[in-house]
Chain A
Amino acid sequence: MSKQITTLQAINEALHHAMESDPTVLLFGEDVADPEEGGVNGASKGLSTRFGDLRVRSTPISEQAIIGAAIGAAMAGMRPIAEIMLMNFMTVAMDMITNHAAKLRFMSGGQTAVPLTIRCTTGAGFGTAGQHADYLEAWFAHTPGLKVVTGATPAEVSGLLNACIFDDDPCIFIENLPAYWQKGEAPADPGARIPLGQARTVRDGGDVTVITYGPQVAVASAAAEQLAGEGIGVEVIDLRTIVPWDRDTVLNAVARTNRAVVTHEAVRAFGVGAEIASVIHEELFGQLRAPVQRVGAPSSAVPYSNPLEKAFMPDADKVIAAIRKTLN
């Protein structure tokens, strides 16, 4: 068995490798330097000691200023990684992200590039309620000019983070908080990059295709495992990149199975799943044996109380129910 590491270790090693290999890579965010313990979760531990205070900086709690500084530095030829502690805190910097980072290349006619990576973490399951746990990827996916990326395993998180850091466009890199302490196979090389826009087929199956990303990859895989016992073949696709998403892999897969389910932890209504389901319907309508099903959180804030939070999160049972709907 190859080396097992946590997602946090994978992130930390990828950051070390990126900063080592390119002096233009910078990191700043709240508490990220070593005197502040390398971030509240320790994701950036060791970096300021190794690469110095010029390149690795703890910032004031000023999200607009953090993203603004990252945009300006990116325009001047650096590759900044701005850490926004939690995805919900990106709301405080939305002007900088959506009016500026996303649009400056287009609005300048290609003269200014913003090779910026915004790392953030989120996810329900920790009892942090409605202002610390939202999956907001659809907002960013709806803003042309941003790439939106999330990984499901330590190796995937590492490879995608590296790809984002060295990509010439602004990337929103979403890390799943509950997965930080989960172990998985280490990447063969901490500097390896997984190309953006390429999905991964997690498991094959001939009856239905489940398209997902992030923490729902494990949920969908558990659902597939359970249904395999009944002789139902469930294919699971991990998108890895939400923008640009891998239409070819998804459409080719659904063209084989003729049934599809899209699942994500984000609120179902107006979510990423709606876009993917629509494209599948547009492209494969005549071949589909059933309407594409969508699984996601209900239209409420992430609740605090444990049973409520469990009911809120899309679990394997909900994915199985959606799969069965496509089979009937």
Chain B
Amino acid sequence: MTSANPVQPDKTVLLDMYSKMSLIKHNDETARKLLMSGRLPMIYYSPRGQEVIPSAVSVNLRRDDYICTISRGTHDMLAKGVPLDALWAELAGRATGTCKGKGGPMHITHPESGCMITTGIVGSSMPIANGLALASQIKGDGRVTVAYFGDAASNIGAFHEALNMASVWKLPVVFVCQNNRYGEHTKFEKATAVAKVSDRAASYSMPGIHVDGNDPLAMHAAAREAIERARAGEGPTLIEAVTFRFFGHVFGDADGYMDKDEKAAAMAADPVPRYRQWLMDQGHASEAELAAIDTGHESAIKAAVEKALAAPWPDPSELYKDVFTHELAPA
């Protein structure tokens, strides 16, 4: 770890971050295996390579804080505490899923853990995060809302409208841009007029933090600073966390548009094993302790998958439920 972070989190937090990263990594490996085998066909945006960001953010959040995430979002959800059983049942489209099978991979919602929305529309997490934060500001409940989005979303109008409003109203919100270097198939530099998304914060008179999103300590420090600032009523922060996605835009994408050397270098610097090694080198955990975390997740994921695939499908009558509060007569 290269971070010069002055206040290192204590061991519990360090291991909590690792546990989340390990959970995300193993969950993703399982998802891709299921897709490859054909056992679970689904639309899937792998977050592999981006594990550090939501793990470091989430250890700074309370259970009742809110997140708004996007279609590449299983890492954000798992880090915030969306339970595996309900998540996998939703990925499998089953009645027992978080959303009764009506949302699917791109729309996981689980208010109990603070995951208020997963949107499939680029840029739309931010305006809605503002509203959650606005409610907290009015109620004085001390909650913070985190809006996750990608680098490409900083080029859509909703980004501008939302960041401007959040700053004018000093909302308790943190905008976390996960810059994974590509918007769909287009390289960051080709689509974005600034070198750093965080520089855009200046337009909204809010702090902009540029951080290595694969460095757990640096990411932890950035997240803590922004979350504390929001919770103290001092307004929003834009964090640009630089990272890399290992498996393209959507599962099945052949990566033909990607710079092969860039990808190989990023995968060689895989942040999860790197952090695992660092924890051992620094004497924070033994191999056995970390292995126990890993295998615990692996077996929980396996059990969740089997349970999900055995769960019932939603009944066709569900089509007419939850459209409105009360079911209307068929139109």
Which residues of A approach B to under 8 Å, CB–CB? 26, 54-55, 57, 59-60, 62-65, 67-78, 80, 95-96, 99-100, 104-113, 144-145, 147, 167-169, 244, 247
Q: Which residue of B lies closest to A72 (CB)?
A: B131
Closest A residue to B97 by beta carbon equals A109
Among the stretches B43-51, B160-168, B305-313, the one at the interface with A is: B160-168
Chain A residues near B119: list those with CB within 8 A: 99-100
The answer to whether A72 and B324 have CB atoms under 8 Å apart is no
Chain A residues contacting B136 (CB-CB under 8 Å) are: 76
Q: A62-B161, A69-B165, A147-B324 are in contact. List 17 more A-B contacts (CB 8 A).
A: A60-B161, A64-B158, A64-B161, A68-B128, A72-B116, A72-B130, A73-B138, A75-B132, A78-B135, A95-B121, A96-B127, A99-B119, A99-B124, A100-B128, A109-B102, A111-B99, A145-B323
Among A77, A105, A107: residue with most chain B CB under 10 A? A107
Asked if B157 contacts A54 (CB within 8 A), the reply is no
- Interface membership of B111, Cβ < 8 A: yes
Which chain A residues border B103 with CB–CB below 8 Å? 107-109
Contacts A65-B165, A95-B121 known; A106 to B127 CB distance under 8 Å?
A: no
Tell me whether A75 and B116 are in contact in the complex, defined as CB-CB below 8 angstroms, given that A60-B165, A107-B103 are known contacts: yes
**Residue B117 at the A interface, CB < 8 A?**
yes
Contact of A108 among B107, B127, B325 (CB under 8 A): B107
Q: Report the Cα distance A60→B164, complex, angstroms.
A: 8
Given contacts A59-B165, A62-B165, A76-B135, contact A68 B322 (CB under 8 A): no
Contact B328 A107 (CB under 8 A): no
- How far is the CB of B206 from the nearest CB of chain A, in Å? 15
Q: Are A111 and B110 in contact (CB under 8 A)?
A: yes
**Which residue of chain A lies nearest to B127 when distances are taken between CB atoms in the complex?**
A68
A sample of 9 cross-chain residue pairs with beta-carbon separation below 8 angstroms, ordered by A number, consists of A67-B127, A72-B116, A73-B138, A76-B136, A95-B158, A105-B323, A106-B323, A107-B107, A112-B111
Cβ A99 vs Cβ B121 within 8 A: yes
Contacts of B178 on A, CB cut-off 8 Å? none
Q: From the candidates B102, B131, B157, B161, name the one contacting A73 in the complex (CB within 8 A).
A: B131
Q: Contact check: which of A26, A104, A105, A168 meets B138 at CB < 8 Å? A: A26
Residues of chain B lying within 8 A (CB to CB) of residue A169: 324-325
**Contact, CB under 8 Å: A100 / B124:** yes
* A4 smallest CB distance to B (angstroms): 35
Closest A residue by C-beta to B325: A168
Asked whether B277 is an interface residue with its Cβ less than 8 Å from the other chain, the reply is: no
When distances are taken between beta carbons in the complex, the residues of chain B under 8 Å from A54 are 137-138
Within the complex, what minimum Cβ distance (angstroms) separates A61 from chain B?
9
Contact with A along B78-108 (1 / 0, CB 8 A): 0000000000000000000111111100010
**Nearest-Cβ distance from residue A141 to partner chain B, whole angstroms:** 10
Q: Which residues of A contact B99 (CB under 8 A)?
A: 107-109, 111
* Contacting residues, chain A, for B121 (C-beta < 8 A): 95, 99-100
Give Cα distance in the complex from A62 to B127, angstroms.
Answer: 10
Contact B135 A68 (CB under 8 A): no
Cα–Cα, bound, A26→B169 (Å): 15
Interchain CB contact under 8 A, B164 and A62:
yes
Cβ of B56 within 8 Å of any chain A Cβ, yes or no, is no
- A-B pairs, top 5 by smallest CB distance, nearest first, are A72-B131, A68-B127, A76-B135, A109-B100, A65-B161
Q: Decide if A69 touches B102 in the complex (CB within 8 Å).
A: no
B165 touches A106 (CB 8 A): no
- A113 CA to B135 CA, complexed, in Å: 14
Contacts of B134 in A (CB 8 A): 69, 72-73, 78
Known contacts A99-B121, A112-B116, A145-B324; decide if A55 and B130 are in contact (CB<8 Å).
no
CA distance A107 to B157 in the complex (A): 24
Tell whether B321 is near chain A: CB-to-CB under 8 Å.
yes
Contacts of B139 in A (CB 8 A): 76-77
Q: B162 contacts which chain A residues (CB < 8 A)? A: 64-65, 68
Q: Considering the chains assembled together, what is the distance between the CA atoms of A167 and B326 in angstroms?
A: 11
- A319 to B248 Cα, complex, angstroms: 59
Given contacts A76-B136, A244-B328, contact A68 B109 (CB under 8 A): no
| Distance to closest chain B CB from A262 (angstroms) | 16
Report the bound CA distance from A95 to B168 in whole Å: 23
A308 to B154, CA, bound (A): 44
Quick check: B164 and A72 within 8 Å, CB to CB? no
Task: Contact check, B168 vs A60: say whether CB atoms are below 8 A apart.
Answer: yes
Q: Considering the complex, which residues of chain B in the window 127-155 have a beta carbon less than 8 Å from any beta carbon of chain A?
A: 127-139, 145
Is B23's CB within 8 Å of the partner chain A? no
Q: B127 contacts which of A72, A77, A112 (Cβ < 8 Å)?
A: A72
B133: which A residues are within 8 A, CB to CB? Answer: 72
In the complex formed, the residue of A with least CB distance to B116 is A75
Distance (whole angstroms) from the CB of B65 to the closest CB of chain A: 12
A67 to B99, CA, bound (A): 23
| Residues of chain A contacted by B131 (CB below 8 angstroms) | 68-76, 80
Question: Residue A76 contacts which of B124, B132, B323, B331 (CB distance < 8 angstroms)?
Answer: B132
A110 to B, closest residue via Cβ: B322
Q: Given A54-B138, A62-B164, A64-B158, are A72 and B107 neighbors across the interface (CB < 8 Å)?
A: no
